[in-house]
Amino acid sequence: MEDLVTHSRHTFHIPVMGTGFTIDTPLRVARYGITSVISLVDDVLIEQMRKLHCRKAEEPYEEIAGHNEDARARRITAYLNLVDHLVRRQVQALQASPFESGSEITRYYEMLPETSLKRAYREMLTTPESAERVRKQDELRRLAVPGTIDVNIMTKLDRDIYRDGKKLPPEFADAMAALRGYANSSLTSSIIFSAGMNQRVYTYATRFADFSPDQNGVIKKKIILKVSDWRSATVQGKFLARRGLWVSEFRIESGLNCGGHAFPTKGLLMGPILEEFKRRKVELHEMLHAIYSRARTGVDRSSVDTPLEIRITAQGGISTAAENELLLRYYRVDGTGWATPFLLVPEVSNVDDAHLRKLSTATNRDVYLSDSSPLGIPFSTLRNSASEEARRQRIREGRPGSSCPKGYLISNTEFTDVPICPASRAYQKRKLEHLAEEGFSARQLAVVREGVVVKACVCHEVGGTALVKNGIDLEVKPAVCCGPNIVNFSKIATLQEMVSHIYGRLSLLANHDRPHMFIRELTLYVDHLRKEFEKYSLELSTRAPKYFREFKENLLSGIEYYGSRTEHFIEEKRNRFMDDLRALREALERMTLATVHE
């Protein structure tokens, strides 16, 4: 089959969710023009899913065992090639289906937003049976292209690999091997780098031709950076540009109002951040293109005279069509990301029945920003997930910690020469024994001890729902890392219903008294700062007084920004928005540095 054109026909994408929730989402949505993202963290799960889908699709399967040479990269390549192949097959079937009620191609066009393509579809429907109608249908078939099959590498998860006690070369480290696995695949899509800069991974990308333009100026494998603010975008963008690598998209995610790992800024809020990107997008484009063009010329490559495209997209906590439109129209982003609501869409994401019920009834108390990640990064957690219940049960039984079956998050060498995971039983047993010798007060000891045993096996258990739902492993205790906005939804929905909700054709909102997404993020930041104050008061924080002052000043500045712009982008419940702003300002102003000594 000739190379298949891929392009998102929608104004939203489905971001990566955990290691398993979106592991095969492209097989469910790509044929409808919807872009989604696969996590490349867990190659064991990836291999299990390849076996599953080979069986379902009656494709040949040959195991790539973990002990095989370069197994991680080869597993990833094989799985991505399979998904690419199966989506191509799906698209052929969709394009060949009749334009009738309930058909695949009708479903494709009915889900589209109000664009010129949707209007062309409606014009075809009103055209009488004739050669002209057939011509229009043929053109619509050609234009029914899939969304892209994107992948995500969390750059901090770059564990070095040891064999017989000896460290292997850097290219076999987790993120490096994952990058190689993607680069060697047949996909024409994008890789999302998240969790900050990893210089060796970024530099390694220069070794693969697919990340550079071909003779027609087309980049087969594009780079997307997930960032939380302007500075992060410019620092990483320039680093890549100096190496002749173009960033095709900056994906701005709320620092706290998101699922999975959260990367809080120093109080910089999403609205002001988006405002800066809107105001300085041309500057960013020109700056990076100048650096990129020089770099490509300097390494004996053809310079790029015509600047390549840069897209700015936003995600994190979006719950209504009005909020989606705010980002698209006022902040002029090129697209939005909708993640957590799709956990309630079984035909899109991997969530087992037990956790579907828990998610559909989740309250604000059930979803919280935890310290459960072994990376030491805040992690959005469903409190009553099977993983959390099992973790608390192990503590009650006097044996905290996980067996650490996969070890993707190993990093600690406090007690061992070879790194181990802070969530492992081996680490927690040693650490708890040593705490008594460190001179903590009773109150400090309780907090520190909780900080040890709260760590959970997220690298394995976040993929647990995919294992349970697909009958691969019914014994695993799944973890769920939904965003706070799950509490706004309760209906188990279809793909078409959720897409219609995004575009304002219907509403799936269950919590009509919910705060605006900007207010929710601000509330999370105020709560986060309060917790940081509490740690400092217990002398358990490494933060300097300057950090607290800067954080608070940034939040107050953000509140001022929102207060001055509500008339431009808040139509419904504007008084509620302003009341919430005032209450949060008052709560913030009550937090003082009186207990923070210079």
Contact 158, 377 (CB under 8 A): no
pLDDT at 593: 66
Is residue 539 one of the residues assigned to a domain? Answer: yes
Is residue 152 one of the residues assigned to a domain? Answer: no
Q: Count of alpha carbons within 13 Å of 181, Cβ hemisphere only?
A: 32
pLDDT at 595 > cutoff 60: no
Average pLDDT along the chain: 94
Is residue 574 one of the residues assigned to a domain? Answer: yes
371 and 455 fall within a common domain:
yes
Q: How far apart are CA 347 and CA 176, in angstroms?
A: 32
Q: Which amino acid is at 346?
A: P
Contact 10, 35 (CB under 8 A): yes
Contact 241, 209 (CB under 8 A): no
Q: How far apart are CA 100 and CA 502, in angstroms?
A: 24
396 and 472 fall within a common domain:
yes
pLDDT at 597: 45
DSSP state of 6: -
461 and 565 fall within a common domain:
no
Contact 339, 17 (CB under 8 A): yes
pLDDT tens readout for residues 436-448: 888 899 999 999 9
Contact 47, 75 (CB under 8 A): yes
SS3 content of the chain, % helix, strand, coil (to 5): 50, 10, 40
Other CB atoms within a 10 A radius of the CB of residue 46 amount to 27
553 and 445 fall within a common domain:
no
546 and 474 fall within a common domain:
no
What is the longest distance spanned by two Cα atoms in the chain?
87
Q: For residue 17, give every residue at least 6 positions away whose Cβ sits within 8 Å of its Cβ, in sequence order, or none.
A: 259, 260, 339, 340, 342, 343, 349, 481
Q: How far apart are CA 385 and CA 485, in angstroms?
A: 17
pLDDT at 106: 98
472 and 523 fall within a common domain:
no
Is residue 577 one of the residues assigned to a domain? Answer: yes
Q: Which amino acid is at 410?
A: I
Is residue 206 one of the residues assigned to a domain? Answer: no
pLDDT tens readout for residues 11-41: 999 999 999 999 999 999 999 999 999 999 9
Q: Which pair of tokens denotes residue 402? A: 């996980």
Is residue 428 one of the residues assigned to a domain? Answer: yes
Contact 465, 385 (CB under 8 A): no
For 566-585, b/e burial (b = at least 16 CB within 10 A) is beebbeebeeebeebbeebb
**In which domain, by residue range, is 442 found?**
352-479
pLDDT tens readout for residues 371-394: 999 999 999 999 999 999 999 999
Q: How far apart are CA 409 and CA 31, in angstroms?
A: 34
369 and 466 fall within a common domain:
yes
Q: Which pair of tokens denotes residue 247? A: 């960033």
pLDDT at 384: 97
**Distance set, CA 7 to CA 10, 404, 505 (Å):** 9, 39, 23
pLDDT at 569: 74
Alpha carbon 182 to chain centroid, angstroms: 17
The residue behind tokens 């995919």 is 466
How many separate domains does the chain show?
A: 2
The 3-state DSSP class for residue 144 equals coil
Is the Cα dihedral 124, 125, 126, 131 positive or negative? positive
Q: Give percent of the chain with pLDDT exceeding 90.
A: 89
Last residue of a domain, one of 479, 504, 537: 479
pLDDT at 4 > cutoff 80: no
475 and 370 fall within a common domain:
yes
Tell me the pTM. Answer: 0.95
pLDDT at 2: 35
Contact 28, 470 (CB under 8 A): no
Q: How far apart are CA 143 and CA 134, in angstroms?
A: 14
pLDDT at 436: 81
For 332-346, b/e burial (b = at least 16 CB within 10 A) is ebbbbbbbbbbbbbb
Q: Cβ-count burial of 487 within 10 angstroms (0-12 exposed, 13-18 middle, 19+ buried)?
A: buried
pLDDT at 469 > cutoff 80: yes
472 and 524 fall within a common domain:
no
pLDDT at 8: 67
398 and 468 fall within a common domain:
yes
383 and 438 fall within a common domain:
yes
pLDDT, mean of residues 121-146? 97
**Distance set, CA 501 to CA 16, 315, 489, 571, 587 (Å):** 20, 16, 11, 18, 34
Contact 321, 501 (CB under 8 A): yes
The 3-state DSSP class for residue 42 equals coil
Q: For residue 218, give every residue at least 6 positions away whose Cβ sits within 8 Å of its Cβ, in sequence order, or none.
A: none
Q: How far apart are CA 57 and CA 67, in angstroms?
A: 27
376 and 454 fall within a common domain:
yes
pLDDT, mean of residues 549-577? 90
The 3-state DSSP class for residue 311 equals strand
pLDDT, mean of residues 272-284? 97
pLDDT at 594: 62
Last residue of a domain, one of 479, 506, 531: 479
Give, rounded to a whole angstrom, the gap between the first and last alpha carbons of the chain.
68
pLDDT, mean of residues 188-213? 96
pLDDT, mean of residues 453-473? 96
pLDDT tens readout for residues 56-105: 999 999 999 999 999 999 999 999 999 999 999 999 999 999 999 999 99
pLDDT tens readout for residues 329-371: 999 999 999 999 999 999 999 999 999 999 999 999 999 999 9
pLDDT at 107 > cutoff 50: yes
pLDDT tens readout for residues 279-329: 999 999 999 999 999 999 866 555 667 779 999 999 999 999 999 999 999
Tally the residues of the chain.
598
pLDDT at 112 > cutoff 70: yes
pLDDT tens readout for residues 509-541: 998 889 999 999 999 999 999 999 999 999 999
Q: How far apart are CA 193 and CA 7, in angstroms?
A: 20
pLDDT at 437: 85
pLDDT at 1: 30
Q: How far apart are CA 479 and CA 466, in angstroms?
A: 11
Is residue 275 one of the residues assigned to a domain? Answer: no
CA angle 286, 295, 149 (to 5 degrees): 75
Q: How far apart are CA 522 and CA 588, in angstroms?
A: 10
pLDDT at 598 > cutoff 80: no
Is residue 423 one of the residues assigned to a domain? Answer: yes
pLDDT, mean of residues 206-225? 94
Written in H, E and C, the secondary structure of 440-490 is: CCHHHHHHHHHHHHCCCCHHHHCCHHHHHHCCCCCCCCCCCCCCHHHHHEC
pLDDT at 3: 42
Contact 93, 30 (CB under 8 A): no
pLDDT at 303: 61
